[in-house]
Structure 1
Amino acid sequence: QLSNAINCLHENGIVHKDLHSNNILIHQNSIKLADFSLSKRIKDAGQISFETVPYLDPEQIKKQKKSDIYSIGVLFWELSSGKKPF
């Protein structure tokens, strides 16, 4: 569900820019994304939130599609390990 939600955003030209465990909600067995305050149209994305640095793709300064996908990977690691990253 999480991957599908991000894919939907990206297909509509939006990057979330703030994916972390506090912004993933579960309601009645359904995943919901929260906090779109940093979300941008892909062409406008560029500012980094330092609160979520562990979730950012270290290879990119600009938060684009690849960085949202990197953040999903970090979230999956957090889910499987039960620990916050870094």
Structure 2
Amino acid sequence: MGYSLVSASQQTKDMATDGLREAAAREKEREQANERLKQAEQQQKMNNTMAGATTGAMVGAQYGSVGGPWGAAIGAVAGFALGELF
């Protein structure tokens, strides 16, 4: 009878340990997924800013040598702002 109780106790302990191990693995996967999403969001913001700067520089270049840098600056701000909104 004592052996049966010890065996049941060990099984319960093993099940609890397995459950905690699985929970920890799921949490780690969730944290990794959140980190990947955060990095993707940062990359998208940079892409939006650079696209705006490029477009602004091209449009500004049509107004002479001074327009290009100003257009790039305005386009970068616009690209960043629009990226934040959408």
Q: Rg: which structure is higher?
A: 2
Scaled by the length of structure 1, the TM-score of the pair is: 0.28
Larger RCO (CA under 8 A, 6+ residues apart): 1
Q: Which has the higher helix share?
A: 2
